Structure 1
């Protein structure tokens, strides 16, 4: 989706017409904290007007619904496809539309957790209609400190995201020991010896460290992947997929958490990511649920709006998941 976030700015309009619009691309494996970082950026008073493009792998966009934005927003859905392959044409068309705006200061792109960063970068280098108006500022990769080892084992994309990064955020450092962080730092240096590395909790960081850094260097990326400008097709692991379940009946959260805990115990290594907004029994607000492998969290979100249909939307992403089995388990949680 694209969300245009209105902020005040003192930039001279004439200067803007002569400058390319900087683009920061946020990558990272499923559940690493990318959307949290986007919300952190939008929450800060940075004095910029930023367009945010959010791409989700699942059928339903949950992250887009919880991204902070001002009231005057334009939304374009980039769901059930990946910017590195099936929806790259949508990205080009959206960026072309953004070039019509004279007041835009920057673009922020959050890729799916399964995106290969190289094809996304090549869009800005190869596409003539894009490279004349936009400049890649930096690839910021968010790393889940708690699940890094398993993510690297399971996913080639997780390795590529780190290797391709200009800036790496070791996130969720509050969930691991200092010794773990030291080992993670060493492993990241083996995959990427030149990226700047910062430690974060809840993806909170000084924006000057990740925005307007001019950290992207084409020559360095070609050393990592000499073929990335060849615009090759990217294929995802066929065993990894996603599906969504919905319900317009209230959900018993106690039943749901018991079922989800059992599911995490039995399929925790294959259930990479679940996330959903719940119409929960006894709650006047939407309830946001998220899980990353064995770790789960749940919190109250905003109140339901008067003219808004009350729905539960839950997305699951993982390897060799049985959709029918998942749906049957979920249906038992209906109040």
Structure 2
């Protein structure tokens, strides 16, 4: 079995549309005295605008930060950079990868599933999206990248909330929920947020979501329907058969991968004392045993898909057929 999820270095993918406040958030992480050491990978050091007074010294690609974090630029291949970071003797508590404002976060997130060396030592912890409260509604209409960034997110900073009214905020939150009902939304100004609400989120874990929003899995979010992006979730109180589930999910994601942006689940397999958790980005899947089921804890399997043109009856039929 692969290393337990907890032993791997957590990776946070930081995304958000141009001007939303990503760089402000990054500068906060790099300057706060949080006592942790992060490796931060940015697309282009020159463009990003990391405060120069945070930088201690730099060789070609790696920059030392005053608070012990290191920063490097992706001029080359992300896998090569990450591989180099993992070989460094001065290990760190996490890796943060910042994508460009126009990027779809999927290829970056997939890197941590695809490459065996990287995948063995790292685990995707969360996709964090910074969204501009004032302009997000417009961007959701005219920029597919902005919609993808919301759909992929595990955590959303709804930033610049001081520029809009409470009514507008509620409206924009409903629009976010129509696309992605399970991301945690934090209202922020100038990307000011406690670092522990962004990093170390264990986004594999659906428990956090159902604790925050118990009716999340009952499809309680019907207030706003997004034209082409939606999420669906299914639960089963009967144990699943791994020999049925794995072939089904592989075939499904290979066939429907381009339409399925994110998938994640907590599964109870027959005769298996441990919870199995998985998450996927398009057709790339990653999963592991997480921990034993606790005494008295209901052994319920839960699975979620976010994507375009999802065939809900077919998805449900496939999932139900995996029952042992």
- Same fold judged by TM-score > 0.5? yes
CA contact (8 A) 1:146 1:172 kept: yes
The 8 Å contact of residues 159 and 191 in structure 2, kept in 1 or not, is answered as yes
Match of 1:229 in 2: 284
Deviations 1:73-99 (A, max 9, x none): 44529xxxxxxxxx7961110001001
1:177 aligns to 2:218 (yes or no): no
SS at match of 1:197: strand
Deviation at 1:217, TM superposition (A): 6.1
Decide whether aligned partners of structure 1 residues 128 and 160 sit closer, same or farther in structure 2, where only a CA change above 3 A counts: same
What is the Cα deviation at residue 116 of structure 1? 0.8
| Aligned residue in 2 for 1:133 | 121
**Aligned residue runs from structure 1 range 199-238, under 5 A:** 199-216=187-204, 221-222=262-263, 227-229=282-284
Aligned runs of 1:1-335 on 2, under 5 Å? 19-56=7-44, 61-66=46-51, 69-76=54-61, 90-103=77-90, 104-216=92-204, 221-222=262-263, 227-229=282-284
* Unmatched 5+ stretches in structure 1: 1-17, 78-86, 231-335
Measured in 2, the distance between the counterparts of 1:130 and 1:141 equals: 23
CA contact (8 A) 1:152 1:158 kept: yes
- Stretches of structure 2 that go unaligned for 5 or more consecutive residues are 1-5, 63-73, 207-248, 250-260, 265-278, 286-324
Could you say what secondary structure the match of 2:87 adopts?
coil
1:113 Cα offset (Å): 0.7
- For structure 1, which segment, 187-196 or 151-160, has the greater mean C-alpha deviation from structure 2 after superposition? 151-160
Q: Deviations over 1:282-333 (max 9, x none)?
A: xxxxxxxxxxxxxxxxxxxxxxxxxxxxxxxxxxxxxxxxxxxxxxxxxxxx
Give the structure-2-normalised TM-score.
Answer: 0.57
Cα displacement string for residues 14-60 of structure 1 (whole angstroms, at most 9, x for unaligned residues): xxxx932111111111111000000111221111111111115xxx8
Mapped partners of 2:22, 2:187: distance in 1: 14
- Secondary structure of 1:221's partner? strand
What secondary structure sits across from 2:46 in the alignment?
Answer: coil
Structure 1 residue 68, shift from structure 2 partner: 5.9
Distance in 2, Cα, partners of 1:182 & 1:211: 25
How far apart, CA to CA, are the structure 2 residues paired with 1:40 and 1:226? Answer: 28
Show CA shifts across 1:206-232 (max 9, x none). Answer: 1111111111469992369873429xx
Mapped partners of 1:173, 1:40: distance in 2 = 18
Do the aligned residues in 2 keep the contact of 1:222 with 1:228 (CA within 8 Å)?
Answer: no
Aligned length: 201
